[in-house]
Amino acid sequence: MTSSYSTDIVIFGGGIAGLWLLNSLRNQGYNAILLETGKLGCGQTLASQGIIHGGLKYALNGALSGAANIISDMPARWRSCLSGDAEIDLRGCRVLSDHYYMWSDSGFRSKLKTFLGSKSLSGRVSAIDKKDYPDFFKAATVEGTLYKLPDFVVDTNSLLEVLFEKQREWIFKINPGSYTFERNDSGLVNAISFHDKNTHFTIEAQRFIFSAGKGNQQLIDDANLREPKSQLRPLNMVYVKAKNLPSVFVHCIGDSFSLTPKLTITSHTDANGETVWYLGGEIAESGVGKDADVQVHSAQKLLTTLFPWIDFEATQFHCFSIDRAEANVNNNYRPEDAYFIEESNVLVAWPTKLTLTPNLADNITKHLATNGIIPTNTLTEQDLRTVLEPAKLATSRWD
């Protein structure tokens, strides 16, 4: 016999986008559930550096681009969630650094780029007086200029924990390929049908949201959607572990024409209490396709060049490949904002950046209201617990 369950919204994918959307929709009275094929956060979210960007990174050519403009409101938006004053209560999410820094070395072009970048965001970026440098840069043995940005860094583990804990009873693990999408007589997706070895059941809903990052493409194919197109942009990320590393949060602006920082560092603590430096920026982009030993060697060389006053002797280096997954709406460039599109009752969504997730939730909420999707009362989603297992949180790569 086939059991049938119902809810308002089914979300696929439990990274930041899916977990934030689940919280947002349930806070607004919608009945919503989240289905995850792996562990929550195991995609890009726990691999991210957790920087809540204020836009400078996207203004390094001196112009306040659309992306820089849109993202510049985000730090304030996140801060109100972190202090419990907004629709999503993120109290309990740890802030790893309340500020982010930008270090421009003495090269002419890098100084110019930094200067132009800071001009275009005037009032939001300030050069720091040497006497006020954090300890890490006070010890610098090379010339440079340090700027303080409005960006800050969140601990993605505690971020996901907070979002998970509030809605854990509505978050389920599913097996890849264990379901098919059903369409009604009008050709609209109205249910998913599960056909594991021993169980057969369907879940009906008003709308389905795909927020599965890289997994969206498979879902788009499974649901037979015409749109949208997705794109992957790969990275080769390095992390560095040692007991005595100081914490540092900085973009190092390079002396090339690239608009990507030469190095973007965030600092974390692993399960053994060791400090982890997580390295993004140009090193991760130019490292794509390189063997692990070659990439590690590049990172060692870069760190010793940029920070000659730090001893990396007892440091372990590791690297891994990961894709950034986004909508492909602009000829392979990164979209400027969070993105979603609806087709046949299915919304396909990518936040584009962790930072832009609140925009994604706002835009989807508005879209649902505009399309007359309102919460219903006669649902049987709570009974899903008899047929689906709860999903679990993933951990960081260095754990």
Chain contacts with ligand FAD (rule: CB under 6 A): 12-18, 35-38, 40, 42-45, 47-51, 53, 176, 211-215, 218-219, 235, 237, 280, 322, 324, 350-355
Q: What CA–CA distance (Å, rounded) separates 110 from 262?
A: 10
Chain Cα centroid distance, residue 209: 17
Closest CB to ligand FAD among residues 241, 353: 353
Q: What is the DSSP string of 206-265?
A: SEEEE--GGGHHHHHHHTT-----EEEEEEEEEEEEETTPPP--EEEE-SSS-SS-SEEE
Least distance from ligand FAD to the Cβ atom of residue 311, Å:
27
Least distance from ligand FAD to the Cβ atom of residue 356, Å:
7
The interaxial angle of helices 357-370 and 74-82, nearest 10 deg, is: 90
Pick from 10, 30, 369: nearest CA to 174: 10
Closest CB to ligand FAD among residues 274, 337: 337
Least distance from ligand FAD to the Cβ atom of residue 174, Å:
6
Closest CB to ligand FAD among residues 111, 168: 168
Q: Contact at 8 Å (CB) between 12 and 172?
A: no
Least distance from ligand FAD to the Cβ atom of residue 134, Å:
19
Least distance from ligand FAD to the Cβ atom of residue 284, Å:
7
Least distance from ligand FAD to the Cβ atom of residue 346, Å:
13
Q: Contact at 8 Å (CB) between 240 and 328?
A: no
Question: Collapsing DSSP states into helix, strand and coil, what is residue 381?
Answer: helix
- Give the tokens for residue 304: 């010793």
Closest CB to ligand FAD among residues 124, 314: 124
Cβ-count burial 87-121 (b if 16+ within 10 Å, e if not): ebbbeebebbbeebbbbbbeeeebbebbeebbebb
Closest CB to ligand FAD among residues 44, 157: 44
Closest CB to ligand FAD among residues 96, 303: 96
- Give the tokens for residue 308: 């000659």
Closest CB to ligand FAD among residues 50, 254: 50
Q: Contact at 8 Å (CB) between 32 and 170?
A: yes
Least distance from ligand FAD to the Cβ atom of residue 124, Å:
17
